[in-house]
Amino acid sequence: MEQTQSSPKPPSRVPNAKGKGADAGEPSASGSTPAPAEQDYPRPRTKAERRELQERQRAAKAAAKRNAGLVPPASAKGAPAAGAAKGGASTSASTSARGGTAVTAAAGRGVKELKPTPGAEDVGGHSHGLRIFSHFALQKIATHVAKGDVHPSIVQLGLMFSEFKICGANARCIATLSAFKEVIQDYETPPNNTLSRHLMTHLSTQISHLVSARPMSVTMGNAIRQLKLEISNSDIDLPEQDAKDELCHKIDNYIRDRIIIADQVIQETAMKKIHDGDVILTYARSSVVEKVLLEAWSEGTHFSVIVVDSRPMLEGKRLVSVLAAASIPCTYLLLPALGSVITEVSTVFLGAHSIHSNGAVYSRAGTALVAMLAKQHSVPVVVCCETYKFSEGVQLDSFTKNELAPVGDFFNSFPLTRPRDSLALKNRPNLEILNPLYDLTPPSSITAVVTEVGVIPPNSINSIPLALGRQPF
Amino acid sequence: MATDLYNPASQRAVEALAAKLRRRQVLGSRTAALETVVVLRQVISKARFTNIEQLVGIIRSVGRKLVEAQPKEHAVGNTVRKLLHLLREEYHNATKRSASTSPGGFSIAKFVLQGQPKKQAAGPKAESSLVLREDDPDDPDSFARTLKPVLMEAIQDVLDELETVYDNISKSAKDHIHSDEIILTIGQSHTVEAFLKSAAHYRNYTVIVAESGPSYGGHDMANSLSSAGISTFLVPDSSIYALMSRVNKLILGAHAILANGGMFAVTGSLLAATAAHAHSTPVVVCAGQFKLTPLWNLYHEYAALDFADPSSVLGFEEGDLVDKVDVLNPYYDYVQPELVDVYITNDGDHPPSSVYRLIKESYGDEDKL
């Protein structure tokens, strides 16, 4: 019985793969191959026949791939765009269902299966290296086409996300929740439906639009999960407007408790780590670290700040202008220059996008380098992070989940002294430009994490849910 | 030293090179070394001296002038020292007509005193028939006349070595790079570029180039490598740690190799080397032998070597922010010897722990400019 069961697998596997390929618009040559597979439906009985069938299908698949390689580039251009869109669509569909990190693995698998054909035409003689980074599925910027019933404030928000006008984990979360408040107020339960069930599906459409603009941040994911919990717990008997008001009130409380007040507690705790005459180093721009520094300065402590910055986003410039406006003595330099100043630094303050249960910090690309070099020179590294940024699961390296910035001079981050045509701003044959936006700092490089429930060493991050009186995830 | 640069043409040449160095118009250590050799050749060919001390004095004063013009360009001083060393060697060869060292005379005392066991063994190569008469009152030019051709040959050797530096370094390229490897490099270095291009003839591999702000030399490097058919990725410096777990080797260029085995390299190299060390990735440095510098002090970590224009970090387009903020743009990093695994030079591969021996062999002990 087992033997005959194993035989259908080869014929059924081939049409499946071809089916997915057909979805992404793989050239029509593949369409012809399922036909021979179907012809073999009267199953071969002997082992030799089965092996012969497998060989035939393998040869047919190889022939189809070769034909696909000869098909003119027009269809190939369709394939990568469709492939990327498909990758994005599958990400959004599954994200709205779970909003976890396991999703990107599925998207990655989907994209990897499509990858061989688009990669072959895109770059003549694609190599091992180009395939390695292929799972960084690049989001298309111009998805202004809203699918389904998307609220105008969500459309506006999606546009601002994709243009990076709102960036930073806290800012994005607050913006999303505020937009959701408007969505909820404008929502009307259709007849024969309950608010608690239908509102969820309505919100899912909004969420998929936001994700298609830019992958969701962990903060947004946690906040949305909490919101969905509140919606499902809302009382069925409440009149609609009351239920909506209660939800908006809960959203306000979430923002107030988990973000605003948490930030204030973190400010007061971290301020105690700054003493007179200190040289504080920070990287890029973290909203929490900015608040800590401003608060410490207004309390009268005299210190100076070194802001380290880097492409692609060059966010540190904004931080420098805020600190300089408050008359804090600042030094500004780019990341490669860090080696020359690290010997003078007393403490390093960093922000985080999210923090994992093993204590690894997922933050702006470049943070890992700063933390590593500081640790080497025995400079304490302090990460300021609210508890709502806690992300379940353990990420082992920066590849599992990352986002690429758009190629080219999107942020105007190149110096004016350098003529634009001497820079490589576009992909060329044999040259691909990658701008990862995030990286993972291992817990060994971090000295302490300041949260609103206290200052904890990185490997005790797991105890946060218990400290908040909740179930551990 | 009134007889120094008595020759006005040589004086002009030296002044011209010193001015170029001062204005930083000489780009790259190899160019600086080549121009120094050319100028010294001209000085020596026109110089008039009657004994070895005068010749050494002439060369020393020229060297001092050039080094003072640009103390951060170590290749100049290195080349002058090397020439002096060769000069002394030729002189010693020429004057030792008798069987100087006993051919099996390898004694510990000699090894410690002179520290050049290799050269000693190869010492009496030129059983020269030169008859050198120093300070001859009848024929003051005889010394110079007999010695000059020999010196010119030695200078030509140095020039040849400098001109073939890239080819010699690239000879071992295919042994260091395997198929399907991922190599990471920082900014732009002609030596590394030649190395990678030569390996590309034999192997198929990928290169990741980090841009290296604010000069962004990585863009030129990436353009050049991709035009040579090597599949290249261009990434900003911020993602070096993120990508390091996938990188098989880090290949860097050097500005100067110091006597303790450490090096000065373009800024960003310390970050990359530290990240590679954290991931146990080998760090390979490609540099010509003319970059070996007999310098070392305890304070390399605390003082950046040289600074470049800050407007490429924070330019005047930022408005009044420029007044309120200090901007730093150091050009070089000091990388400790513990972080480097091998130096690939035109004279073979050496670990950092044996750099001191290379320096003893190339430069004499007496020559401190």
Q: Mean pLDDT, to the nearest integer, of B90-105?
A: 61
| Residue B206 in domain | yes
Q: Does the pLDDT of residue A110 top 50, yes or no?
A: no
Nearest to B321 among A321, A334, A366 (CB): A321
Q: Do B242 and A399 touch (CB under 8 A)?
A: yes
Same domain, B89 and B209: no
Say if B191 falls within a structural domain. Answer: yes
ipTM, 2 dp: 0.85
Residues B67 and B207 in one domain: no
B217 with B158, same domain: the answer is: no
- Within this chain, do residues B78 and B217 fall inside the same structural domain, yes or no? no
**Residues 6 or more apart in contact with residue B37 via CB below 8 angstroms:** B79, B83, B155, B158, B159, B162
B334, part of any domain: yes
Contact list in B for residue A333 (CB cut-off 8 A) is: 313, 327-329
The strand pairing partners of A404, in sequence order, are A436
> Span B244-262, mean pLDDT?
93
Domain co-membership, B301 together with B240:
yes
Domain check: are B156 and B206 in the same one?
A: no
- Tell if the CB–CB gap between B311 and A373 is shorter than 8 Å: no
Q: Are residues B286 and B248 in the same domain?
A: yes
> CATH assignment of A273-416+429-468?
3.40.50.10470
Mutation for testing the A interface, residue in B239, B307, B317, B335 having most A CBs under 10 Å:
B239
| First-to-last C-alpha distance (Å) of chain A | 43
CB contact under 8 A, A320 and B242: no
- Mean per-residue pLDDT over chain B, rounded: 84
Same domain for B194 and B137: no
In a domain, B314, yes or no: yes
B45 lies in some domain: yes
Strand-strand pairing, A438-441 and A361-364: antiparallel
B323 shares a domain with B202? yes
What are B156's two structure tokens?
Answer: 């030509």
Same-domain pairing of B242 and B138? no
Structural domain that includes position B234: 177-362
Residues of A in contact with B271 (CB under 8 A): 335-336, 338-339, 369, 373
Contact A324 B328 (CB under 8 A): no
Average pLDDT, integer, range A339-351: 94
Q: How far is A307 from chain B (nearest CA, A)?
A: 10
The whole-number average pLDDT for the span B76-101 is: 78
Can you spell out the DSSP letters for A225-244?
HHHHHHHHHS-TTS-HHHHH
Read off the pLDDT of residues A180-214 as tens digits, 9 standing for 90 and up: 999 999 988 888 888 888 888 899 999 999 998 88
Do the domains at A152-261 and A273-416+429-468 have one common CATH topology?
no
A334 burial class (0-12, 13-18, 19+ CB within 10 angstroms)?
buried
Q: What is the DSSP string of B71-123?
A: TT-HHHHHHHHHHHHHHHHHHHHHH--S--S-TT---HHHHHHH--HHHHHTG
Of A341, A369, A399, the CB nearest to B240: A369
Largest CA distance in chain A: 87
Q: Hey, what are A105's tokens?
A: 């693995």
- Taking residue B133's Cβ as centre, other Cβ atoms within 10 Å add up to 13
The answer to the question of residue B167 being in a domain is no
pLDDT value at A14 more than 50: no
Nearest by CB to A416, which of B232, B233, B317?
B317
CATH number at residue B155: 1.20.120.420
Chain center to CA of A122: 25
Q: For position B342, which CATH number holds?
A: 3.40.50.10470
**B92: pLDDT confidence band, cut at 50, 70 and 90?**
confident
* pLDDT of amino acid A301: 93
Q: Which residue of B has its CA nearest to A423?
A: B219
Query: What gap in Å lies between CA A258 and CA A138, rounded to an integer?
Result: 31
Could you give the C-alpha distances from A132 to B222, B228, B251, B265, B338, in angstroms and in order? 19, 21, 20, 29, 31
Contact B241 A343 (CB under 8 A): no
Three-state SS at B306: coil
**Taking the domains of chain A in order of start, what are their residue ranges?**
152-261, 273-416+429-468
Amino acid B97: pLDDT: 52
Given this model, what pLDDT does residue A331 score? 94
Across the range A410-426, mean pLDDT stands at 82
For the domain A152-261, what is the CATH superfamily, name and number? Answer: translation initiation factor eif-2b, domain 1 (1.20.120.420)
Q: Which residue of B has its CA nearest to A444?
A: B278
- Which H or E element spans position B326? strand B325-327
pLDDT for A38 equals 45
The number of distinct structural domains making up chain B is: 2
